[in-house]
Structure 1
Amino acid sequence: MDQNKAIQPDNTATRTALWRALHVQADELPHIIEDEIGLKLISPEKNWQERPDMKYTKRLRASIVARARFIEDIAREQIEKGVKQYVLLGAGLDSFAQRNVDISSEVDIYEIDQPETLAWKKEKLIENGYKISGNLHFVPVDFETSSWWNELLNSGFDVQQTTFVSCTGVTLYLTKDAIIDTLKRMALLASGSAIAITFYLPLQLLEEEDKPLMEMSIKGAAASGTPFVSFYSIDEVVKLAEEIGLKEVKTVSTNDLRERYFKNGTDNLLPASGEFFLVAKT
């Protein structure tokens, strides 16, 4: 078999990209975010919308599009303020660079993820006619054997420049020690840099209707060899960030995102409880 044919993106990256596309195709206006680029790259089977992980996960889809929009709002805000570097830790099939050409050309974008996911993504972008600009940097990292921070520095990243770092859907899979190390690395960024990183509440703190789905997700993740290992209360995350020395620490909850993006919706699209953001400065 051709080696390139064997390269596949991470399943979670694929699923979240399809959820973003499904939002555009299945949910009523106004859409939280318009992003069908991942769908174009993946080119799934014709009945992909009927898959169980698409058809029965409306609240999770809402969470993913809210997460993507929130991060994108901060990224645009930071770039408009003059930030020249944007780091996506766990970039997956994010398409900020392709959909925001008006401002993405003004900033160096560093997408960090597993080597197979980034190699597949780069190949598919080129196949679909997207130009890989000189300021878009793919930073492949085997998180089990190497340091994302070292690989970032080796990719031309300037630690003296103010930066925005997003990290979504990652901490769930990291040990506490790895999370602390990641936050400490972020704290080394130039003064005034901004970070936004997602964490996950323990099962008992979820809204009742979300508990069964999370229980299924926990079992599925364990069975696939990528178990969920880290859950935190909001107070625990705030304490952790303050102890590490991050500044202007705040959290953004599911309810905050519902109020921000969903209050004018007409189709009862609401994000699941469980995920929340830590937003801070260095």
Structure 2
Amino acid sequence: MDCPSTTAWRVAQHRAKHQILDNGAIFRDPLACPILGTNEQDPDLAHDQQDEKSFRSFLAIRSRIAEDKLSSAIQHGTKQVVILGGGLDTLGLRGPSTHKNVTFFEVDSPAMHVWKQRHLAKVRVSVPSSLIFVSVDFETDTLKERLIGAGVDATQPVFFSWLGVVPYLSRASIERTLQCAAIFPDSDIVFDYGEPIENYSGQHRAIMEKRSKLVESFGEPWISRFQPAEMHSLLQNTGFDEVLDFDRNRIASYFGWPPVHTTQKASPHVVHARTHKNKD
């Protein structure tokens, strides 16, 4: 595996495992295995590792919420989708089969885009004309300028999907990205974030500490984690009018699952935020 991002590759593996081991119960992705260049008979995808299932489920949960909200936005007229930190995400690749007349802009580093396009050709996954790759360094580039330069219409709504990226960015970069997303009129963003590891206790804290050390060993350390009140304040200050934060209990309610009874106060989070302003 020569992917520039080990974490992106591992997330893609978890997505494929969700299709195989969980029958795609939460989130169906027909390209999850093909984008890895494999199939459902791959022995590397046929078994669980310790503490893996809950993490794999959360990855499916955040994708399902994002694409449910995307479908709703498209029904209300949104025709532009920006995938921030695309990695091996398949949303833009699946675009023509799921959302007609919608343009997808996939944002990631130049190195990731060069590798991904070469890899897609190698595994024979076609890139539709509705998908445009936009190379951006979140820490140094001006996102709005890059998006408009790639063809995003700043006068029209945009749906932003930003999954699995926030923990790896500085707070300044996160704030700039949210400010950019809020500029576009009547737009949506879905992203996930993690609470500080110190918020966790017992076995859950041990799992989080283990994951933190693992991603750091890949050279992709967690940089930013947020208290929920901090994140909600940041969203308000950057221009979002409506914020829905899916914590553990809201996730259970969303999917019609039984309430979660646990002494663990910390939770993973998926956020759906919206603007309601017709901006110049």
Give TM-score, length-normalised by structure 1: 0.84
Are residues 280 and 148 of structure 1, via their aligned partners in 2, closer, same or farther at CA, if it must alter by over 3 Å? Answer: same
1:243 paired residue number: 237
Using the aligned pairs only, state the percent identity: 28
Take 1:158 and 1:134, find their aligned partners in 2: how far apart are those partners?
17
Relative CO higher for 1 or 2, CA cutoff 8 Å, sep ≥ 6?
1
Whether 1:276 aligns to 2:256 is: no
The CA deviation string for residues 75-129 of structure 1, in whole angstroms up to 9 with x for no partner, is 1111121101011101121212343534433211011112233233333434454
State the number of aligned residues. 266
2:90 paired residue number: 95
User: Does the 8 Å CA contact 1:84/1:162 hold for their aligned counterparts?
Assistant: yes
| Cα RMSD after superposing both structures | 2.5
Equivalent residue for 1:37, pick from 31, 34, 41: 31
SS in 2 for 1:232: coil
Take 1:23 and 1:155, find their aligned partners in 2: how far apart are those partners?
33
Give TM-score, length-normalised by structure 2: 0.84
Take 2:205 and 2:4, find their aligned partners in 1: how far apart are those partners?
28
SS in 2 for 1:38: coil
User: Does the 8 Å CA contact 1:97/1:104 hold for their aligned counterparts?
Assistant: no
1:133 paired residue number: 128
Are residues 55 and 262 of structure 1, via their aligned partners in 2, closer, same or farther at CA, if it must alter by over 3 Å? Answer: farther
AA matched with 2:84: L
Whether 1:49 aligns to 2:49 is: no
Whether 1:148 aligns to 2:143 is: yes
Take 2:162 and 2:69, find their aligned partners in 1: how far apart are those partners?
12
2:155 paired residue number: 160
The CA deviation string for residues 201-247 of structure 1, in whole angstroms up to 9 with x for no partner, is 11133364321121011122223322211111111111111122210
2:211 paired residue number: 217
Equivalent residue for 1:65, pick from 60, 71, 92: 60
Take 2:236 and 2:192, find their aligned partners in 1: how far apart are those partners?
16
User: Does the 8 Å CA contact 1:8/1:116 hold for their aligned counterparts?
Assistant: no
Quote the offset at 1:50 in angstroms. Answer: 6.7
2:198 paired residue number: 204
2:261 paired residue number: none
Quote the offset at 1:181 in angstroms. Answer: 1.2
SS in 1 for 2:192: strand
Whether 1:79 aligns to 2:74 is: yes
Take 2:95 and 2:55, find their aligned partners in 1: how far apart are those partners?
25
